[in-house]
Structure 1
Amino acid sequence: MTIELIGLNKIPIIDGKESIAKIIIEAIKSQKIEVKDQDIILIAETLIAKCEENIVDLNKVIPSDEAIKISKKTKKDPKIVEVIIQESNEIIAVGPDFIISETKEGFVCANAGIDESNVKEGFATPIPENPDESARTIKEELEEITGKKIAIIITDTQGRAFRNGAVGVSIGCAGINPLWQRKGEKDLYGRELQTTEIAIGDELASAASLLMGQANEGIPVVIIRGISYFKDIENDNAHIKTLLRSKERDIFRNIKNSYE
């Protein structure tokens, strides 16, 4: 099996509300390629934020007492800390240079996913308000324009517990199951898989991140083509929350709380 990754590098810097589907189509035309059936299109959340005008002007943020207190411990700008608090359901842990929180969308990550990179100085982009809905809208518009059956994944870059470094992860999806249930299938020796679940949304996001990069690569959209198991993970009713472990089953948070 051969998988192809195609980075769209003809996408302009966005400064206001735009149709992401139309931007993608223009970039595809500029690169003289076309959308094909079963393409999976991965889009960086910063592009979503800009096109949806989901951007925070830090100059207008007034830090609360809690934000000022946390900023002293983390050495972070109190305005950024305030935005993190506002975008969080719960602050889980505070360290010397990080804040781990559960976002409004239910993601447990550093700094509530607030991003200051690839945006103008003095501004920050939070995680999209409804990543699945954003993905669904883009999917429907692209399918209407191209007549092809595709899937959309919105990506972010996040760290992982117990490991250094950040990787691409999926935070929104449409047309594809982000969690691939393989229970009941057979391994190479004919044994039946009992509990195997693949975070396929995150694996695809991480693959796309190889082209997207984290600096000035200028590739916010990647097409992944040639996934032979597309039919196995295709699902027009899929949503990203399938990937999120419930608080009740979050053993690490429960262990932490049991010692407090």
Structure 2
Amino acid sequence: MNRRERGSPGTVSVLPLDGIPELRKDDDLGHELYEAAVRAGGLEQGDVVVVAQKAVSKVEGRVVRLADVEPSPRARELAGPDGDPRQLEAILRETLRVVRSRPPLVIAETRHGFVCASAGVDASNAPEGSLVLLPLDPDASAARLRERLVGLAGVDVGVIVSDSFGRAWRQGTTDVALGTAGIAPLRDLRGTVDAAGHELRTTQIAVADEIAGAAELVLGKASAIPAAIVRGVDVRGDGSARELVMPRERDLFR
């Protein structure tokens, strides 16, 4: 991984993109991001624009009204005495497999392969009485935003669609990359040699997740800032956030 040049240390900056209005279905999110970037001084070659998943989901219409959800018997069971069975039904509809549950908490595997709380279904920062779902294809969402930004700004930038995930064995959440475009999400160090001369056999760095986590420092659920520019880290390349999902045959915990 590099900063200004490959293999060379340097300064990394995280710039919040504020002034973006409340987003609704079919809004031009790419244009809103571009205008916010102009207010922040403009986009530069190699910047990575990190966008909160909820902003993407809202413009893609991935919002459901609780009043329109009829809970199934399984949803009522998983809701327990303290949960809303309509919300559990929305979670089940986004779930490929329930990994663990302790009503009303559900850890689920989504259709994307993500293992996360509530299949990514969330009521925070959602319209009253509604839930926001994950994008159907976060990599495609990132690609569309990147195409729009490159067209408007005339510079090569990467895009990450991020969301907050919990982690096994660790308290608290941190942002991770759900979708990527224009960047290499993993840095593969296998076959290289460390400072002590040892060959690295398994080391891969989740650079897209690191960048998403850095951007979250200026985002957050209460800040009303849905995006940020991370500058000074050269991760330009090809790849998909699906590369960050642990293959089932290597997963010791599912």
What is the TM-score with the length of structure 1 in the denominator?
0.91
Q: Is the 8 A contact 2:121 2:132 kept in 1?
A: yes
Q: Which amino acid aligns with 2:29?
A: I
- Indicate whether 1:218 and 2:224 are aligned: yes
Match 1:64 to one of 69, 72, 79: 72
Q: Structure 1 residue 16: deviation in Å?
A: 3.0
Q: Which amino acid aligns with 1:26?
A: E
Q: Is the 8 A contact 2:48 2:230 kept in 1?
A: yes
Give, in whole Å, the separation in 1 of the partners of 2:28 and 2:73. Answer: 39
Give, in whole Å, the separation in 2 of the partners of 1:159 and 1:234. Answer: 27
Give, in whole Å, the separation in 1 of the partners of 2:144 and 2:83. Answer: 35
Paired position in structure 2 for 1:14: 23
Paired position in structure 2 for 1:46: 54
**How large is the RMSD of aligned CA atoms in angstroms?**
1.3
Paired position in structure 2 for 1:252: 253
Match 1:3 to one of 12, 15, 18: 12
How many residues are matched?
Answer: 245
Paired position in structure 1 for 2:110: 103
Q: Which amino acid aligns with 1:234?
A: R
Identity of aligned residues (%): 36
Q: Structure 1 residue 163: deviation in Å?
A: 1.4
Instruction: Give unpaired runs (5+ residues) of structure 1.
Output: 254-260
Paired position in structure 2 for 1:258: none
SS at match of 2:165: strand
Q: Which amino acid aligns with 2:187?
A: W
SS at match of 1:252: coil
Match 2:139 to one of 132, 135, 148: 132
Q: Which amino acid aligns with 2:173?
A: A
Paired position in structure 2 for 1:83: 90
Q: Structure 1 residue 10: deviation in Å?
A: 1.2
Give, in whole Å, the separation in 1 of the partners of 2:247 and 2:66. Answer: 32
Q: Which amino acid aligns with 1:187?
A: D
Give, in whole Å, the separation in 2 of the partners of 1:41 and 1:241. Answer: 18
Give, in whole Å, the separation in 2 of the partners of 1:30 and 1:38. Answer: 18
Q: Structure 1 residue 201: deviation in Å?
A: 1.1
Deviations 1:192-216 (A, max 9, x none): 222110111111111111110222x
SS at match of 2:80: helix
Paired position in structure 2 for 1:27: 36
- Indicate whether 1:118 and 2:125 are aligned: yes
Give, in whole Å, the separation in 1 of the partners of 2:221 and 2:98. Answer: 26
Instruction: Give unpaired runs (5+ residues) of structure 2.
Output: 1-9
Paired position in structure 1 for 2:7: none
Paired position in structure 2 for 1:198: 205
Q: Which amino acid aligns with 2:91?
A: I
Greater alpha carbon shift after TM alignment, 198-207 vs 242-251: 242-251
Q: Structure 1 residue 247: deviation in Å?
A: 2.0
- Indicate whether 1:160 and 2:167 are aligned: yes
Q: Which amino acid aligns with 1:244?
A: V
Q: Structure 1 residue 139: deviation in Å?
A: 0.6
Q: Structure 1 residue 8: deviation in Å?
A: 0.6
SS at match of 1:80: helix
Q: Is the 8 A contact 2:79 2:103 kept in 1?
A: no
Greater alpha carbon shift after TM alignment, 13-22 vs 40-49: 13-22
SS at match of 1:21: helix
Q: Structure 1 residue 187: deviation in Å?
A: 1.6
What is the TM-score with the length of structure 2 in the denominator?
0.93
Give, in whole Å, the separation in 1 of the partners of 2:78 and 2:221. Answer: 27
